[in-house]
């Protein structure tokens, strides 16, 4: 059985689309079809149901998928072993919350380009659910999760840091000058600009605000830190963000911290698939990340 057929099979299983699989593998769509038919003919079973909107694994295909991934992992291990003392290179795809894209990761990637210039890092901004799904499907090699609890089948998640959170507003906002701590009831009457659904600390803040009796906070969700931060700096409301994402604005007087309820530090975890082998490029990224955080 040719490994190229298995690679086409696993890619189609992950993407669910002949067009997407062909684009990712840099093949003609007709070639993907030929590969799948050849594999089905060799195995004597149908692996996919062809649907108007894509391809869906059959029961036989689902049973085969785990074994196919194991074979491809073993082949990757052998190739890495044969490389011997060669330079570490290749692509590593990392899922990460958007807030970390603009704070930690630029420094990590810059250091990695010095230590391992042949490693190419692709960042994929995503929440926890998308990251875990990406690790399981093979779309992601590694992921960073902002979660206090991370118990997911097939995924391991080790704690690598803890990130303080800051509740901030514009210096001109009435709450900025408050000498005493703001209560939950007072916060529940404010407007908030939070990160999108799936951001653990934004979701938790929303739950606490809505739990206040008679609460009617105005909640707006954004997909990136810059948008939320800019709205707050303009005096339109409040936000809760990792301290590293607002530290510069606090120093420059563009934002002000609010004295209010205490927010626990959010746990940063490095996640990977429990069974899948981590390629040297992924290992190099993980090592550089941990080193960057310990400096």
Within this chain, do residues 172 and 290 fall inside the same structural domain, yes or no?
A: no
Same structural domain for residues 177 and 258? yes
Q: How far is CA 230 from the centre of its chain?
A: 23
Per-residue confidence (pLDDT) for residue 146, from 0 to 100: 85
Q: Supply the CATH number for residue 275's domain.
A: 3.40.190.10
Supply the pLDDT for residue 82: 64
Do 197 and 254 have their domain in common? yes
Q: What is the pLDDT of residue 295?
A: 63
Q: Where are the alpha helices (DSSP H) in the chain?
A: 3-15, 18-25, 29-43, 59-83, 98-101, 105-115, 128-137, 184-187, 200-210, 225-233, 243-251, 280-294
| pLDDT at 84 (0 to 100) | 56
**184-197 per-position pLDDT tens digit:** 999 999 999 998 87
Give the three-class secondary structure for 138. coil
User: Who contacts 50 (Cβ-Cβ below 8 Å, separation ≥6)?
Assistant: none
| Same-domain status, 147 and 283 | yes
Domain boundary among 22, 48, 83: 83
Domain boundary among the residues 36, 64, 83 is at 83
Q: Mapping DSSP to helix (H, G, I), strand (E, B) and coil, where does residue 242 land?
A: strand
Q: Are 177 and 255 found together in one domain?
A: yes
Report the chain (295 residues): mean pLDDT per 10 consecutive residues. 85 87 89 92 91 88 84 71 64 85 84 87 85 84 86 87 93 90 93 86 92 91 88 95 92 94 90 81 88 76
Question: For position 86, what pLDDT does the model report?
Answer: 58
């Amino acid at each position: 059985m040719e490994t190229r057929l298995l690679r086409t099979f696993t890619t189609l299983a992950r993407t669910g689309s002949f067009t997407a699989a062909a684009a990712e593998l840099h093949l003609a769509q007709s070639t993907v079809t030929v590969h799948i038919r050849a594999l089905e003919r060799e195995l004597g079973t149908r692996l996919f149901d062809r649907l108007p909107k894509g391809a869906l694994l059959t029961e036989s295909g689902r049973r085969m998928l785990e074994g196919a991934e194991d074979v491809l992992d073993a082949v990757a291990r052998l190739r890495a072993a044969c490389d011997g003392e060669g330079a570490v290179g290749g692509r590593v795809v990392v899922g990460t919350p958007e807030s970390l894209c603009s704070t930690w990761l630029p420094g990590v990637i810059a250091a990695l380009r010095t230590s391992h210039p042949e490693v190419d890092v692709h960042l994929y901004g995503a929440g926890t659910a998308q990251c875990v799904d990406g690790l399981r499907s093979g779309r992601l090699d590694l992921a960073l999760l902002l979660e206090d609890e991370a118990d997911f089948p097939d995924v391991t998640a080790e704690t690598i840091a803890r990130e303080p959170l800051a509740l901030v507003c514009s210096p001109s906002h009435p709450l900025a000058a408050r000498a005493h701590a703001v209560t939950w009831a007072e916060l529940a009457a404010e407007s908030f600009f939070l990160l999108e659904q799936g951001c653990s600390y934004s979701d938790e803040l929303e739950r606490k605000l809505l739990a206040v009796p008679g609460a009617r906070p105005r909640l707006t969700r954004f997909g990136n830190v810059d948008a939320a931060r800019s709205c707050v700096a303009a005096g339109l409301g409040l936000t809760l963000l990792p301290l590293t994402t607002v530290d510069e604005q606090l120093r420059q007087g563009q934002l002000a911290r609010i004295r209010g309820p205490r927010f626990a530090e959010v746990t940063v975890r490095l996640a990977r698939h429990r069974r899948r082998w981590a390629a040297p490029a992924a290992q190099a990224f993980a090592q550089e990340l941990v080193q960057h955080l310990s400096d």
